A and B are shown apart, each in its own frame.
Chain A
Amino acid sequence: MSAAAIAERRFLQQQRCRILYRKSLKCVLDWAVHRDIFYIEAEKTRLQFEANRDLQNLETIDRLLFEGEARLAKFQHPDPYIVPWCPGGSKYARNPPVPPVIEVVNDFGRESSH
């Protein structure tokens, strides 16, 4: 494989690793709501990632990434925290604005133009 292809593959692996770390921290935050417990568990997660910091073999890294993603999939919280006003949250698009085309005419029973 050419050097550029190897560099590209490493870049993609680093990106996958960062996204895996992000998802695992969010998963830990879903489970460990109390902040002091979260910090302890997040530190443990970080140590797991740091243990594999200096690997060079592309195949090993790929295999570890797949295993990590599989382990993360088992730990997903059934009711994860989603910010309410962001897509997927309970308050997202709760009161959308009425389009200005629609006009409410209050004539209080005078039955003017029905």
Chain B
Amino acid sequence: MRHAVRALHSCVLRRLQVQVQLDLPLKASVTPATRWCRRMFSDEAHATHLDRGEVVARVLDVVKTHPKADPTKVTESASFQDVGLDSLDTVELVMSIEEEFAVAIPDAVADKISSCPEAIEYIASHPSAK
């Protein structure tokens, strides 16, 4: 009796199918800058991208106040080496930028930031930069 019930049970389950319809809206526009934050978590939903002019002003301020940077050479398109910083100073500067905007940059990405426009681009496209 029990075997028959079990056989019937598995037979019925194999035949039943629940129709699943996913009508979730798909994100249409994915740029390389925003690909890593595609998921619908709070930092993308409540994304507060900063105003670009403000980002530029604050990043250049951080660069100018570095003790080894030459303030006269700091412009929006300068690389950190032009300003007078070597590679370890660049690491310190990227950390100061992280602290200024309260973001956490992954190590691999932070290593590649070596000029003002790259830093400005990263912060401007970060969804939760403050």
* Residues of chain A whose beta carbon lies under 8 Å from any beta carbon of chain B: 14-15, 17-19, 21-23, 25-26, 42, 46, 49-50, 82-83, 85-89, 92-97, 99-101
Contacts of B90 in A (CB 8 A): 18
State the main secondary structure of chain B at its contact with A: helix
* 5 A/B residue pairs, CB under 8 Å, sorted by A: A19-B111, A22-B110, A86-B104, A97-B40, A100-B25
In contact, B41 and A92 (Cβ under 8 angstroms): yes
How far is B40's CA from A99's CA once the two chains are assembled, in angstroms? 8
- Among B43, B45, B103, the most chain A Cβ lie within 10 Å of the Cβ of B43
Contacts of B88 in A (CB 8 A): 18, 21, 46, 49-50
| Interface residues in B96-112 (C-beta closer than 8 Å to A) | 102-104, 107, 110-111
Please name the residue on chain A nearest to B25 by beta carbon.
A100
Contacts of A49 in B (CB 8 A): 88
Please tell me if B51 contacts chain A, counting CB pairs below 8 Å.
no
In contact, B45 and A96 (Cβ under 8 angstroms): yes
In contact, A25 and B42 (Cβ under 8 angstroms): no
Please tell me if B92 contacts chain A, counting CB pairs below 8 Å.
yes
In contact, A92 and B92 (Cβ under 8 angstroms): no
Contacts of B41 in A (CB 8 A): 92-93, 96
- Give chain A nearest CB distance to B20 CB in angstroms: 12
Please tell me if B91 contacts chain A, counting CB pairs below 8 Å.
yes
How far is B47's CA from A85's CA once the two chains are assembled, in angstroms? 11
Please tell me if B95 contacts chain A, counting CB pairs below 8 Å.
yes
How far is B45's CA from A92's CA once the two chains are assembled, in angstroms? 12
Please tell me if B30 contacts chain A, counting CB pairs below 8 Å.
no
Contacts of A92 in B (CB 8 A): 41-43
| Cβ 8 A contact of B111, one of A18, A26, A93 | A18
How far is B34's CA from A42's CA once the two chains are assembled, in angstroms? 33
How far is B87's CA from A17's CA once the two chains are assembled, in angstroms? 10
Contacts of B104 in A (CB 8 A): 82-83, 86-89
| Cβ 8 A contact of B87, one of A14, A83, A93 | A14
